[in-house]
Amino acid sequence: MMRSILLALGLITFLSPALPAHAETIKLATMAPRGSPWHEILLDMAAEWEAAAAGGLKVRIYPGGVLGDEPDLMRKMAIGQIDAAMVTSTGLTQLVPEVWVFALPMMIRTYEELDYLRDRIGPDLKARFREQGFVVLNWGEAGWVRFFSNRRVETPDDLRRLKLFVWAGDPVLEDAWRKEAFDIVPLPATELFSALQSGMVDAYSTTAVASLSFQWFGMAPFMVDLNWAPLVGATIIRLDRWQAFPEALQHKIQAAAEKAGRRFRERTRSFEAEAVKVMQANGLTVTGVPPEAYAQWEMGARGAGEIIRSRFVSQHLAERARRLLTEYRAGHAQPG
C-alpha cells in the first residue's frame, strides 16, 4: 500500500505544473496619479496577471511619477531597474520616434480617426518596439492635449506672451516651439506643480484628465477649447522579461493587457468631458476659439508639425498616415 501511495504521489507530481519556489516580481511604473482612472485599471490588470501566474508572479506598480517622469522611466527600463511602464507618447517616442505620427499637431481630428490610423499603423510600430527590445502589450490614450494658462488665451500670440512648460529632454520638440516664437521652459513633468506655484511657468499643455488628476489647473484656470493632438499611450515591457514567461502565460498576460487597453480608451473618452465640468465647477474658464483664431492655430500647427515630422517620421509613413486619414474622411461625416 505504501508503495502504491508513493507511486501515486510521484505521478501527481509529474502531471502537475511546477510552481516557482518564490514569485517573480515585475516592476511597472507610470506617471498616472495614484487613484486616477488609469491607476485603477492598472491595478486590475496587475491582479489578472498575478492570478494567471497562480502565485508565480507579483506585479509592483509605482504610480504618480515616484520613479521619475517618462524620460526617466525609459532610461530605467533600458538598464533594467524597472521591467515595464505605462507611458504616453512622450516616453514612447524616446524608443520609437515614429510614434509621433499619432501626435502631430492638429492632424487627427477625432477619436475615430485615431482608431482607424492606429489599427493600421500600430502593428508596424509594435514591430519597431520589438526591434528595440520591448513588447507593446496594449495601446491606450490620455485624451486630447489642450492648453492651460494662468491668463486668458484665445490665439497663438496670446500664448506666446506666456512662459510655456515643455517636457525636458527632447531638443527637437523644444526647437519646434522656439521656431514658432514661443517662450518655453523645459522641465521634468514632476516639477510642473512647483513651477506653476513659483511663477516660473504660466502655461502648459496636457489633457483635461491629467490636469484634473494632478491638480495643475488650480494655478492655471484657463483652458483653450482646442484639440491640439491626441495623447496616445501604451503599456510596454522589456523583451527579455517577456521571453522569460512560458508561452501560455504570455497569452494570458497579453489578453489581460489588451482588455485593460480597451478600458483605458473607453474610460478616458467618457471621463474627459466630466473632467472639464469638474474643473469648471472649481474655477476653470474654457475659452472658445473663433474661426479666425482657429486658422492661426492651424498655421502654427503646420509649422511645428513639419519640424517634428522631418526629424522623427519618415516621408513614407507620413504620406501613408495622410492617405489613411483621407480614406477615412471620404466615408465619414466630418465635425464642424
**Beta-ladder partners of 134:** 238
Domain ranges across the chain:
23-330
Tell me, what's the pLDDT at 4? 41
- CB count, 10 Å around CB of 247? 7
Instruction: Return d(Cα 33, Cα 211) in angstroms, integer.
Output: 11
Tell me, what's the pLDDT at 193? 95
pLDDT digits (tens, 9 = 90+) for 13-22: 333 334 344 5
CATH superfamily of 23-330: Bacterial extracellular solute-binding protein, family 7 (3.40.190.170)
- Count H helices and E strands in the chain, helices first: 13, 10
Least Cα distance to 239 among 130, 127, 120, 334 occurs for 130
Tell me, what's the pLDDT at 168? 85
Is-contact 64 32, C-beta < 8 A?
yes
Tell me, what's the pLDDT at 336? 56
Question: Which residues of the chain have a pLDDT value below 50?
Answer: 1-21
Rounded to the nearest integer, the mean pLDDT of the chain is 91
What cell was used for 87?
507611458
What cell was used for 279?
474643473
Tell me, what's the pLDDT at 335? 62
CA 98 and chain centroid, separation: 14
